[in-house]
Amino acid sequence: MSGIDAFLRALDDAWAHDWESIQTVLRSVGEEEAAYQAPCYRGVKQDAGWPLPGTILWQIAHLAWAKEHYAECLRHRREPKSPKEHERRPAGSLAEELLALKVAHANERAEVAACADAELGERVGGRMLLAEFLSLVARHDAWHASQIAVARRLWRERGD
């Protein structure tokens, strides 16, 4: 297995592993649950065009946004500077946010697959090594899958 294949495996597992993944933790999330904001987030300022902080919708939107950005960084990895961060394109529903996430993930995965083992020691956008960047990409998915799992527990235990 090549280095890039190993990074793809980590990304694929973080995305769709049967036990620990974004797809697993999002299974059966509904609109009301996705929009629920736990009390511990109620004082956090909402950015324009973004769902309420701490909600599953915010996590999904953030993941989609980050995956788009990471794909863009990989697409332009040989340039001396990383691309500017793009503005978020708000979606109107959970289904639309999930579709945006799916598309962003496919684009990100394609950009990872376009990398070569020989590039793993090169810098992405003049900053971190490609190997470190690809590790960050998979870790980021796992981090937010965990946050979604906690948000789901907060929803179940909300005590309405």
Cβ atoms 105, 15 nearer than 8 A: yes
Distance CA 36, CA 126 (A): 40
Q: What is the pLDDT of residue 92?
A: 82
**Domain 3-156: assigned CATH number:** 1.20.120.450
DSSP letter for each residue of 117-147: GGGTTSBSTTSSBHHHHHHHHHHHHHHHHHH
What average pLDDT does this structure show over 32-37? Answer: 98
What average pLDDT does this structure show over 35-57? Answer: 97
* Residue 159 clears pLDDT 90, i.e. is over it: no
For the chain, give every domain's residue range: 3-156
Distance CA 61, CA 14 (A): 17
* Residue 35 clears pLDDT 80, i.e. is over it: yes
Cβ atoms 15, 21 nearer than 8 A: yes
- Give the Å distances, CA to CA, from 14 to 7, 25, 64: 11, 11, 14
Report pLDDT digits (tens) over 121-138.
999 999 999 999 999 999
